[in-house]
Structure 1
Amino acid sequence: MTAPTAEAASAPGDEEVPATTNGQGTNGPETEAAEAEDKPKRGARTKSTAKKTRTVELTLTVTGTLDGAWQADLLHGSTRVVQGLSVPAAAVAKAAQELHPDIAEKIDEVITAAREQHESRLRELEAEVAKVKQALADLGEES
């Protein structure tokens, strides 16, 4: 009597699995051992080469007017830490120089415009003071 073949022993709809595989699509124990060496074991920690840094979100807003008044607001995330803090124009200019030349250039333009406006107002006031002094002098001569 002959032994049944693999074809005869299989049920309808069953696929034939080659003798060199375990039905998992691998090529046997040699390949499984090599793949196990390549993959880290579950739960095993591998050292990351990425630098772990913690970032902090701070938003500094400095606003200025042509009158030369500057103020700062500071946000930490979405929480306002400082609001409406008066800042001298010289400090703003110095900080801008430290940050970047492009920033310093734009801020210097605003500060220069404010300086020119104040100098113009000063000339107007000096002219007015001169007129008032002249008027006082004229009144003094008449008495």
Structure 2
Amino acid sequence: MQADTLVEQEETVDAEAPAAPVQQEVAPVAQAEQPSKAEATEPEAKPADVETRSADAEAKPAKRPKSTAKKTRTVELTLTVTGTADGEWQADLVHGTKRVVQGLPISAAAVSRAAKELHDDIAGGIDEVIEAARAQHRTRMEELEAELAKVKAALAELSD
């Protein structure tokens, strides 16, 4: 329960002038904030004291400690290199959220060279994929050569 109260306070003026009561309005106090009987006997803070404390708090703003860490600007680039079992490779490049390059065809040799420049572990993984594609192409080439030999033999029979 909150209640507005008026507190009377006497001011001492000249001895010749009569003392006049001064009324000052006190801010409402929540019931939980009301002092107990033991605390009620303690003298209340004078408004001048409150103003002095407020002025001190405003005069000294909280200072942030200066950081000694170097502020570095980071750049986020995402390079995605994809390849097919046929040995066709392409690259996509994204800067932050903006797509810079999409589906750029690149050679397997360029991918292999770039991987070797980056790191041996990366080069090892990519070389395995490239070698598998080479083996597949060799197999296909041998099949086509065998088929070509059959076609040449059939053509030779027709020519005789």
TM tier relative to shorter chain: 0.5 to 0.7
Aligned 1:1-143 pairs, distance under 5 A: 12-14=41-43, 42=63, 46=66, 48-141=67-160
Give the aligned residue type for 1:61.
T
In structure 2, C-alpha distance between the alignment counterparts of 1:42 and 1:135, rounded to whole Å: 94
Aligned residues: 105
Secondary structure at 2:85's aligned position in 1?
A: coil
Give the aligned residue type for 2:133.
A
Secondary structure at 1:138's aligned position in 2?
A: helix
Gaps of 5+ in 1: 1-10, 16-23, 25-40
Task: Name the Cα RMSD after superposition.
Answer: 2.2
In structure 2, C-alpha distance between the alignment counterparts of 1:104 and 1:93, rounded to whole Å: 7
* Per-residue deviation, 1:12: 2.4
With normalisation by structure 2, the TM-score equals 0.60
* Per-residue deviation, 1:50: 1.9
Deviant stretches of 4+, over 3 Å: none
Identity within the alignment, %:
68
1:57-112 CA-partner distances (Å, limit 9, x unpaired): 00000000110000000101111110000010000001111111111111001000
With normalisation by structure 1, the TM-score equals 0.67
Secondary structure at 2:74's aligned position in 1?
A: coil
* Per-residue deviation, 1:14: 4.2
**Structure ranking higher in strand proportion:** 2
